[in-house]
Structure 1
Amino acid sequence: MTNAWERRVPAAGVVIPAHDEAAVIERNLRLLLSGVEPGVLEVVVVANGCSDDTAEVARSVGGVRVVEIEEPSKARALMVGNAALNLFPRVQVDADCAIAGPDVLRIVESLARPGIQAAGPARRVELSRSSRLVRAYYRVWERLPHVRQGLFGRGVIALSEEGQARVDGLPPMMSDDLGVSEAFSPEERVVVDSAVVVVRAPRTFGDLIRRRIRVATGNTQADREGVRPPGAGTSIMMLVRLGLADPKLAPDLLVFLGTTVVARSMSRRRVRAGDYSTWLRDESSRTA
C-alpha cells in the first residue's frame, strides 16, 4: 500500500459513493480535480443502484475511475470504493457536495500532525435558494457546538490509514458520518478552516423535514449502538444559552425547535420498525 507521505507529495485516494447524482456529479468532479496535478488524487466513483446515467456522466470526466454496483447502499459503495483504492490518506466525499482539489489537499496535509487521524473542511451551507424557514433553521444549527466541532454534516472526511482501519470496524449506520466523527476523540480529529466545502441546503421546509427525519432516525440508531457519548445531541439548555447570547435569534430558535420536534416524532415509527435503511433524500438541493 502506497503512503502519501513516503511519496513526499500531498496525495490521497478519494472514494465518492453516488446514487442517482447525474444532475450534479460532473460539476462537482470537475471542481474536485481542478487546481491539482493529474494523479495527485486517485478518484473512484462508486455508482450504486442508479436508475439514471450517473456512471456515464462520471466517466466523461478525465482522471476518474467508475465502479458500478447494483445495490443502492452508501455503506456498500464505500466498502467497494475503498477496496478499489491503493493510496492513503483516504478521503470520503459525498457526490452532492462541492470541494476543490486544493482544499482536499489541505485536509490531507492536516493528517500529518501528531495524533490526528481524521479531518474535515470548514462547512459553508448554501442557502441562497432556500425558503425563510429553512434559513432560520440553519442559522441555529450552524451555531451548535457539536455541529461546529464534529466532522459530520460536511460531506467530506479524510482519514489516515490507522483512522480508516478504525472506521472499517464500525457497524453499518444510517448516519455514517456521525459514526466516523464519534470514532475519534476531539484530540484525534480536526476541522481545517483553510479548506471549505459547499453543502447545499434544502430549498423547501418539506425537504428539510425529510432530511431531518433521516438524521433523527440515524441519531437514534447511533445512540442504541453506543456510538454517541451521552449528552452529545442538542439539549434545551444549549438552545437557551444560544438565545441568551443573542436574543435576536429567538424566532429562529422557535423554528429550529419545532422542526426538531416534528422530525423526531415522525422518526419514531421508523425506529419502532427497525427501519434504518430507508433513505429520505432531499432532491431539491440536487438541481443543476
Structure 2
Amino acid sequence: MARCLSLLGPDFDVVVVANACTDATAEVARAAGVKVVETPVPGKVHALALGDEVCATFPRVYLDADVDLTAESLRAMVSELTADDTLLACAPVPELDLTGCSRVAAGFHRTIARLLAQRRGLSGTGAYMVTERGHARIFPMPAIVNDDGYVQRRFSLGEKSTVPSARAVVRPARTMSALVRRRARVRLGNQQLDALGVTGHEPPLALGQLRALVRSREVTRPDAVCFLAVLAVEKVLARWRRLTGVTAEWSSDRTTR
C-alpha cells in the first residue's frame, strides 16, 4: 500500500477503502495523507461503492492495493479518455512481477499473458479508468465476485482501450494453491455474469490458440503444461465450491502483499 501511494504522488484525489482489513492498511493510508474509508464488510464491490461516495472527480481509476501505477501512467490514461469522447474506459499495459512465484504459477502467468496479449482490455491489470459516462454504465454494480470481468463485458471493443504508454506492475498469485483459489473464483465469477446475462464482446480462448503459441515457441511446452494443469484443478475446485454453496465467496491473495 505505501509503495502504491508513493508512486501516485500528491496531485490526485485518492481514496483508500480498507474493507475487512486485519493489517495496517488504514494507518498507512492516513500517514500518506489520503482519504480513508473503513468497513468491516469484505468484498470488492462493496468497497468500490464506498469509495465512490467520497470521490468527486472524473475520470476515475479503480486500483488494487498491490498494483504499482505511476503518476505518469495515470496522466497518460486521463489523456487517452479526454482526447477521444467515444472512449468510456481504459487500462494500462500489465507488467508481471513474477518474483517469488513457484514454477507452476510462473508458467501459468507467462502463458495466460501471451494468450491475452492482444485482447487484455480492462481485466487482469489491477487498474481501470472510466469517464463519467463510463461510470454510469457500470454503477451501481451488482453483487458479484468478478468486478473487472463485469467491467470488461460492459463496454464494447470501441468503447475501451489499452493505453500503450501506461504501465501497471502486477504481482500475481505466487503459489499454486493461491493461484488455483483465485482462478476458481474468476471461473465462478464468469459463470455468475453469464447467469446475469452480462455477455462479453470477445470470443473465449481456445486450445488451438495455445497450440499455435507453442508451435511458434512464444510459449514453452513446460509452461503450457503448467497452464493446463492449473485449468484442470481450478475447474474441479470451482465445481466443488458451486456444489457446496460458496460461489459468492470473497477472498484476498496474501501472497502478493
Which TM bucket (shorter chain)?
A: over 0.9
Match of 1:259 in 2: 230
One-letter code of the match for 1:75? V
Are the equivalent residues in 2 in contact too, given 1:174–1:277 (CA < 8 A)? yes
- Using the alignment, how far apart are the partners of 1:252 and 1:105 within structure 2? 35
C-alpha deviation, 1:91, in angstroms: 0.8
Residue 67 (structure 2) pairs with residue 91 (structure 1) = no
- Using the alignment, how far apart are the partners of 2:202 and 2:32 within structure 1? 44
Paired residue secondary structure (1:42): coil
Query: When you count helix as a share of all residues, which structure comes out higher?
Result: 2
Match of 1:71 among 23, 41, 56: 41
Question: For the structure 1 residues 66 and 185, does the alpha-carbon distance in structure 2 shift closer, same or farther, using more than 3 Å as the test?
Answer: same
C-alpha deviation, 1:178, in angstroms: 0.8
Q: CA RMSD in A?
A: 1.9
Question: 1:86-105: CA deviations, max 9, x gaps?
Answer: 11111101111111111111
Match of 2:205 in 1: 234
**TM-score, structure 2 as length reference:** 0.92
- Using the alignment, how far apart are the partners of 1:140 and 1:162 within structure 2? 34
**TM-score, structure 1 as length reference:** 0.83
C-alpha deviation, 1:229, in angstroms: 3.2
- Using the alignment, how far apart are the partners of 1:146 and 1:167 within structure 2? 24
Paired residue secondary structure (2:157): coil
Match of 2:91 among 113, 116, 120: 120
- Using the alignment, how far apart are the partners of 2:140 and 2:249 within structure 1? 23
Q: Which moved more, 1:113-122 or 1:199-208?
A: 199-208
Match of 1:9 in 2: none
- Using the alignment, how far apart are the partners of 1:228 and 1:246 within structure 2? 32
C-alpha deviation, 1:146, in angstroms: 7.1
Match of 2:247 in 1: 276
Match of 1:210 in 2: 181
C-alpha deviation, 1:169, in angstroms: 4.4
The structure with higher relative contact order (CA 8 Å, sep 6+) is: 2
Match of 1:10 in 2: none
C-alpha deviation, 1:130, in angstroms: 1.1
Are the equivalent residues in 1 in contact too, given 2:43–2:145 (CA < 8 A)? no
Match of 2:77 among 107, 113, 116: 107
Question: For the structure 1 residues 248 and 239, does the alpha-carbon distance in structure 2 shift closer, same or farther, using more than 3 Å as the test?
Answer: closer
Match of 2:132 in 1: 161
- Using the alignment, how far apart are the partners of 2:218 and 2:96 within structure 1? 23
- Using the alignment, how far apart are the partners of 1:151 and 1:142 within structure 2? 14
Paired residue secondary structure (2:168): strand
Residue 42 (structure 2) pairs with residue 61 (structure 1) = no
Match of 2:157 in 1: 186
- Using the alignment, how far apart are the partners of 1:248 and 1:52 within structure 2? 38
Question: For the structure 1 residues 96 and 248, does the alpha-carbon distance in structure 2 shift closer, same or farther, using more than 3 Å as the test?
Answer: closer
Structure 1 portions without partners, runs of 5+: 1-24
Are the equivalent residues in 1 in contact too, given 2:146–2:189 (CA < 8 A)? yes
Residue-pair matches, total: 256
Paired residue secondary structure (1:114): coil
Q: Which moved more, 1:274-283 or 1:159-168?
A: 274-283
- Using the alignment, how far apart are the partners of 1:182 and 1:147 within structure 2? 16
C-alpha deviation, 1:80, in angstroms: 1.1
Paired residue secondary structure (1:122): strand
Match of 1:140 among 92, 111, 115: 111
Residue 215 (structure 2) pairs with residue 244 (structure 1) = yes
